[in-house]
Amino acid sequence: MATTSETARSLFPALEKFLGKRFSTAQAVRDHHGHDESWHAPCAPEAVCYPETTEEVVDIVRLCADHHTPIIPFGGGTSLEGHLLAVQGGISLDLTRMNKVLQINAEDMDARVQAGVTRKQLNHSLRDTGLFFPVDPGADATLGGMAATRASGTNAVRYGTMRENVLSLAVVLADGRVIRTSSRARKSSAGYDLTRLFVGSEGTLGVITEVTVKLYGQPEAIAAGVVSFADIASAVDAVILTIQSGIPVARIELLDELQLDAINRYSHLDLPVKPTLFLEFHGSKAGVEEQSQEFGAIAADHGGSDFLWKTGREEREQMWKARHDAYWSVLALRPGAKGFVTDVCVPVSRLAECIADTRKDLDGSSIIAPLVGHVGDGNFHLVYLINPDDKAELAEAQRLHQRLVERALAMDGTCTGEHGVGVGKRDYMVAEHGEAVETMRAIKTALDPLGIMNPGKILPDQA
């Protein structure tokens, strides 16, 4: 299935002819498109195209299909499991010039954008409407990339993930046909749910060129604050009870001591170095008050500190910036090291046990790995800080990682709650899905018979 460099190169003249300077084989450009923010070894594409319209994507895909050449969609380059590595060669399709907000339907609370629009850009466009787009993976990712990886983030506990927030997509299929996956109706029973099929398909079934997303009214009131706990089990138990009580928290984020210490240093904060929850409540003034009080009672029952309220927009934004910079703060703990980032997600009743067992594993290891998580969803992250050139360290991180994933799967969880499979989690797909992997493969083969759409991702190699 994989292309040879020779066949790929044979289509370069045609691409250059119609894209001009928006086609490049420069080494620096290729290198830039050959790595994401993960620990996975870079792997550059053979060339990079910068289309500006769906029609140009069609032309590129048709040419690549004619030459059996892989196509790798590229958005913000912020993925975490090697989704964009050119492991079988081919063309990187950089969609960042497709950055137009096409339509804001304020009355229907939805917006249609080109795939290269970032979430911050969309929210900037919405600033006068009283609406916002909530999904927030931390990085200023593109909406196309977020749809392709089924991204989520800190406020998925309240607003859902890209699974719940994409209304419709425009997709260029492997043979160059263009489909729209759905109307703008909020619900439909009209046939197979192609929207959800392409959300999370990581470029392996087609190229997403437009995304229609749901929007939400800006909450009338927002309250945010920090509560610390004596130990991580108490913090997690407080989260579990909060979710089970139906308190509609907008964000409820756990940071362990290591992570708290790292962000204190990196973001110049002086929070107590203890297992800590960052919280945010959205609603009416009375509603936010009520939620805060209900959560406060639960926290107190679990030995939580008093709320350290972050009043005012600026203080609140500073707090969430610190949370979003968690990854960089961890890297700063050991200059020169790389972060082997991973995430798992388990049913919330198993979360305390999963985290406790994971910490036990780490206590018996030389590797440092701060923990941070969207614990309201049962989802948490570890960053194993390693020197990837040190084989013993890499092997130790891989051992710990494997135990983590197996633990999550044994608890009826998933090998990745929000980062996606890419190249990093392919080996766990059979353990998680069993026979269903062959159903996924049948769909892949049906929609991409030549195997040119981001090959080597999601599906494991066949035995």
Report if residue 446 touches its own copies, rule: CB under 8 A: yes
Burial class (CB in 10 A: 0-12, 13-18, 19+), 274: buried
Is the Cβ of residue 177 or residue 313 nearer to its own copies in the bound state? 177
Pick from 138, 3, 128, 114: nearest CA to 55: 114
Part in contact with its own copies (CB under 8 A); list of ranges 5-13, 22-30, 300-308, 409-417: 409-417
Selected from 290, 353, 361, 406, the binder of its own copies by CB under 8 A is: 290
Contacts of its own copies in 124-163 (CB under 8 A): 149-152, 156, 161, 163
Q: Is 352 an interacting residue with respect to its own copies (CB under 8 A)?
A: no
Size, binding site for its own copies by CB under 8 A: 89
Best CA proximity match to 342, nearest among 333, 332, 356, 330: 330
> Quick check: 346 binds its own copies (CB under 8 A)?
yes
Q: In terms of CB distance, is 178 or 308 closer to its own copies?
A: 178
Q: Which residue from 349, 387, 398, 402 is in contact with its own copies, where contact means CB under 8 A?
A: 349
Residue 407: φ, ψ to 5° = -65, -45
Residues 6 or more apart in contact with residue 442 via CB below 8 angstroms: none
> 4 or 349: whose CB is closer to its own copies?
349
Cβ atoms of 101 and 113 closer than 8 Å: yes
For the chain, the helix, strand and coil percentages under 3-state DSSP, each to the nearest 5:
40, 20, 40
Q: How near is the Cβ of 60 to its own copies at its closest, in Å?
A: 18
| DSSP label of 192 | -
> Shortest distance, CB of residue 447 to its own copies, whole angstroms?
6
CB of 308 to its own copies, least distance (A): 25
Assess contact for 266 and 328: CB atoms under 8 A: yes
Q: Is 94 left (phi over 0), alpha (psi -120 to 50) or beta?
A: beta
Q: Which of 159, 81, 164 is nearest to 405 (CA)?
A: 81
Write down the residue that tokens 């070894």 correspond to. Answer: 41
Within positions 373 to 402, which residues make up the interface with its own copies, using CB under 8 A? 377-379
Decide: is 458 part of the binding site for its own copies (CB under 8 A).
yes
Of 269-277, 305-313, 328-336, 437-445, the window that binds its own copies (rule: CB under 8 A) is 437-445
| Residue 435 in contact with its own copies, rule: CB under 8 A | yes
Give least dist CB 79 to its own copies, A. 11
Give the nearest distance from C-beta 235 to its own copies in angstroms: 17
88, 69 Cβ separation under 8 angstroms? no
Residue span binding its own copies (CB under 8 A) among the ranges 255-263, 270-278, 364-372, 443-451: 443-451
CB closer to its own copies, 22 vs 196: 196
Whole-number minimum distance, CB 267 to its own copies, in Å?
27
Residue 296 in 3-state DSSP? helix
To the nearest 10°, report the CA torsion of 104, 107, 109, 111. -20
What is each CA distance from 377 to 164, 213, 244, in whole angstroms?
A: 14, 21, 11
Interface positions, 170-199, toward its own copies (CB under 8 A): 173, 177-194, 196-197, 199
| Integer CA distances (angstroms), 292 to 176, 278, 355, in order | 52, 12, 25
- Nearest CA-CA partner of 225 in 136, 131, 305: 305
Smallest distance, its own copies to C-beta of residue 1, A: 17
State the minimum distance, in angstroms, from the CB of residue 463 to its own copies.
16
Structure tokens at 110: 């939805």
Cβ–Cβ under 8 Å, residues 174 and 447: yes
Q: Does 164 bind its own copies (CB under 8 A)?
A: yes
Q: How far apart are CA 376 and CA 298, in angstroms?
A: 14
Among 1, 230, 286, 392, binds its own copies (CB under 8 A): 286
3-state SS, residue 281: strand
Q: Is the Cβ of residue 60 or residue 346 nearer to its own copies in the bound state?
A: 346
Binding of its own copies by 102 (CB under 8 A): no
Residues 176 and 56: beta-carbon distance below 8 Å? no
232 to 271, contacts with its own copies by CB under 8 A? 240, 243-246
105 binds its own copies (CB under 8 A): yes
Task: Compose the 194-233 pattern: x for residues touching its own copies by CB under 8 A, - for all others.
Answer: x-xx-xxx---x----------xx----------------
Looking at residues 23 to 82 of the shown chain, list those that interact with its own copies (rule: CB under 8 A): none
**Residues 355, 413: Cα–Cα separation, whole Å:** 13
Question: Is residue 287 within the footprint of its own copies (CB under 8 A)?
Answer: yes
> CB of 392: closest distance to its own copies in angstroms?
29
